[in-house]
Every structure is written in C-alpha cells, then in structure tokens.
Amino acid sequence: MAEHFVTEPLSGWGRFPVERCNVYRPESRRQLTAILESGAQPSLISFGLGRSYGDAPLNSQEGVICHTRLNRLLAFDAQSGVLECEAGVSLAEILQYFLPRGFFLSVTPGTKFVTVGGAIAADVHGKNHHQDGTFGNFVLDFKLLTPKGETISCSPNNNFELFWATHGGMGLTGIILSARIKLRPVESAWALVDYQKATNLEDALERMTESDIRYQYSVAWIDCLASGRHMGRAVLMRGNHAPAKELPRRIRRPLSQPPHRHWTLPFDFPSMALNSFTVRAFNSLYYGTHRSAARQLIDLDTFFYPLDAIYHWNRMYGRRGFVQYQVALPLDGGLEGLKVVLARLARSRRASFLAVLKRLGMPNPGLLSFPIQGYTLALDLPVNRGLVPLLHELDRVVLSYGGRVYLAKDAVMTSQSFAAMYPKLEQFRAVKRKVDPQGLLSSSQARRLAIVEK
C-alpha cells in the first residue's frame, strides 16, 4: 500500500539533527500521487540519498517521500548526450552506465551518491563552477508534480520562474519526477591533474585567480589550523579530462575505471577522536607529504570522489554528528572575510580536517541558488557544546562581507541571517504561494528558516 509509512529516525549526512519522520517509499508515480492526495500528513518533503548535511530533507513527525525506488533511466540520445531519467536515479548509476559509453556528468558534487532530484533541488556545484556554473545549467527541463496534483514541465523557455525557483528550492516548489540533463562527452575515465602547494591563503587565491582559466576543475585543500603567515596554506588540485591519446599504453580501455577498494567505517568513533591535536597532526602530514607535481594521471573516481571510497565515513565524527559549514564570499572583500572566519575558528580551537576552498564563477537565475561570484569555503565541524553559537557568530561575519551559507549544508542558521543572505527570498515565496497555496511541501529546515509559514 502506497499510503503506508514507517516512522523512523532520519538524518542528513552530518547526522545532526536526527528526527523521527513518517517515511514513504513509493515505487511508481501512481503511488506518489496517492500519497500526495491522501492528506494523511500535514506536510511532505522529498528525500533523495540524504547527502545534504542537515535538516533539508527532514520533516519532524511529518511526511518524507524517499525517491530511491523511482529511479528508472528513461531515454538517452548518444548524439547530443541528453539523458532523461527519473529523479531518484543517482549520479553513481549514471556514471556506471554512461562513462563506459564516453559520457561524464557536466557538473558533479564531491560525492556521486546523490540523486538527480537532490542535485536539482540544491542546484549543486562542483570543481568546475568557475568555468561551467551549476548542475542547473545542464538541465534542459524537468517534470514537477505540484501539491495540486498537476504535472508541470519546466525549462528555461517554459515556466521560467518555476524552473529557477526549483533549482536550489530544496524540494519546496514540487516533487521533481524526472529530468533531461546534458552529459559531457569524454575520451577517457582519467584526468590530468596538477598539484601545487600554496604557502598561505593569499598565495592560494592568487594562483587560482591567475591560472584557473587553464583548468576545467579546480579545488584546494586548506590547512585551517595553520596560523600567522601560513594561515590558509593549501594544496591546489587542478586538472582537465585526459584525452585518450595522452594515456600510457598500459591503459588499454580508456573509458574503464581501474578497480577500487572500498572500506566501511563499521562503528562511530568516540567523539574525542577528532580534536585539534589529531587534526593538526593530520594536516601537517597531508601538507608535508603532498608534493607539487604536474600532469598526474588520476582516475575520475579518485579525483572527484575521494571520500566515496569509505562507506559511512560520517561515523568518524562520533554519535553526535557534525555540521558542514559552507559559505560563499564575493570577490570584493572575500579574501578578508575568509581570513576572519579562519582566525575565529582557530581561536575557538575547533578544527576541520576537511577544509575545501573553491572559486565560484557567475551565478545563475536560481532564486535560492547558493553560488555568487567569489570563493567558497567548506569546513566539517563536530557537534559539541558551543558550536551553534559559534556558527551564528560566523554567519554574522559572513553576512557582513556580503556572503551566504549553503542550504544543502546548513543545519543551524537563523531565519534572520537566512533572509539577509538570500535577497530573492520574497520572489521565491511568491512562486511557492502560487504553486503550493496550502503549504503542503515543508521541511524542518524550511520551518526553521521561515521559508514557509510554521
């Protein structure tokens, strides 16, 4: 029975917060519509693979629709690289079928375990934002099931406003049923990557600004515990897809990935395992062992998804979970803002062993889409006493530099900060009122941030 749900504890990837939700797992559109029409829940929200970190796909004590059984590939045109699929298809599934046929994703986040619906709803970006923009730039159109039970086709030429409200709209404008997305033709399953060390944040950003144009993909790992003149020392990892003719002869099948070993973290680490001492040791090792090196041949899985090799790596942060704090800061004043954030964090003696810095290119018309032209920094911080007030303080710093927090990672922001960071919020609310006048689509995050009325 489609209308059956199971009440279970649910969380995003950060495992904070954990909330009891009424979870449906429909297997067909008919079942999906029946859930919507049943009126059994005061509100509903879609859930992809739960790779957003906080409460965006959660709905405490109310309905959650899990999309992973609605995952059929529908059509593919090998000439244009356009794939039509249901929203529950994961990027991992797309790669599994289409990389051996010479196609990669046009934009991919740092994990392939996200659904197409989740990628659209968060309007995800990757290492190529400075060149190509977000996932939304490669969505030709999608079908949206609205709370009124209508299926609306949205594209840049058809229902423009709804199209761009849904990109980054965190599931609040409708249920994405299927989408047509453009894949990127590639000659191999490999990238040629340059590694460069930067002595501090300025050095890292200067190098990126000067030469990112040569790289389709660019990202930097930064040591957020280094201080003084080494604050923000970094390892830059920048590369391009490897043409088949540049592969060594030992690689006989250019489009095959080498076999990978996967590990599973079998249990929660004790909460104290990641502290400023262990992270400092890790950071010194990481910075020390990486050498500047040009044209390293790295398979795409290793380059794009290093963490996917360890299943349940989020258990490393212990039972209380963690928050990924990801902010975007504009070109103008952004460097200063990043320094203030890093300095405040260092003073708090909190350490993120995963600190990632990227450049962001031009934004798109997405009403709640995250990227603005400038820089983005992402830090993983274990949940413990004092974290939430600290993040609220950092939010105010980010805001004072004209920046914003990424909704796909957010778990604690206040509605005031959110409203100040996203100037198109009123426009978004107007679209939502039109398409969902009863406010059926809601989430714990949407209520916390007052995107919807309580």
The residue type found at 150 is: E
User: Between 59 and 196, whose beta carbon lies closer to ligand FAD?
Assistant: 59
Of 94, 152, 154, 176, the residue at the interface with ligand FAD (CB under 6 A) is 176
Q: Is 56 in the site for ligand FAD (CB under 6 A)?
A: yes
Footprint of ligand FAD on residues 183-212 (CB under 6 A)?
none
Binding of residue 115 to ligand FAD (CB under 6 A) = yes
Local structure of 68: helix, strand or coil: coil
Closest CA to 112 of 132, 135, 141, 138: 135
27-35, 105-113, 315-323, 344-352 -> range binding ligand FAD (CB under 6 A): 105-113
Check residue 391 for interaction with ligand FAD (CB under 6 A): no
Stretch near ligand FAD under the rule CB under 6 A, chosen from 51-59, 75-83, 230-238, 276-284: 51-59
Nearest approach in angstroms of CB 441 to ligand FAD is 8
What are the DSSP calls for 192-243, one per residue?
EEEEEEESSHHHHHHHHHHHGGG-SEEEEEE-TT--GGGTT-EEEEEEEEPP
* Site membership for ligand FAD, residue 171 (CB under 6 A): yes
Residues binding ligand FAD: number (CB under 6 A):
33
Can the peptide bond before residue 17 be classed as cis, meaning omega within 30 degrees of 0?
Answer: yes
How far are the Cα atoms of 112, 228, 243, 305, 406 from residue 240, in angstroms, in the given order? Answer: 19, 33, 9, 15, 26
Of the candidates 152, 175, 204, 247, which one interacts with ligand FAD according to CB under 6 A? 175
Instruction: Pick the stretch among 44-52, 272-280, 379-387, 391-399 that binds ligand FAD (CB under 6 A).
Output: 44-52
Query: Which residues ranging from 151 to 170 are in contact with ligand FAD (CB under 6 A)?
Result: 170
Which amino acid appears at position 347 of this protein?
Answer: R
Residue 337 identity: G
Q: 8 to 27, contacts with ligand FAD by CB under 6 A?
A: 12-13
Q: In angstroms, give the least distance from the CB of 81 to ligand FAD.
A: 21
Task: Give residues with Cβ within 8 angstroms of 390, minimum separation 6.
Answer: 344, 348, 350
CB 231 within 8 A of CB 342: yes
Cβ closest to ligand FAD, residue 124 vs residue 255: 124
Decide if residue 44 touches ligand FAD (CB under 6 A): no
The answer to whether 51 contacts ligand FAD (rule: CB under 6 A) is yes
Contacts (Cβ under 8 Å, ≥6 apart) of 6: 22, 23
Look at residues 377, 379, 381 and name the one whose alpha carbon lies nearest to residue 389: 381
Part in contact with ligand FAD (CB under 6 A); list of ranges 36-44, 46-54, 253-261, 294-302: 46-54
Whether 225 and 262 have beta carbons less than 8 Å apart is answered as: no
Residue 238 binds to ligand FAD (criterion: CB under 6 A) = no
Minimum CB distance to ligand FAD smaller for 13 or for 255: 13
- How far apart are the C-alpha atoms of 131 and 108, rounded to whole Å? 13
- Using rule CB under 6 A, residue 109 touches ligand FAD: yes
- List residues near ligand FAD by CB under 6 A: 12-13, 45-52, 56-57, 67, 87, 109-111, 114-115, 117-119, 121-122, 124-126, 170-171, 175-176, 307, 408
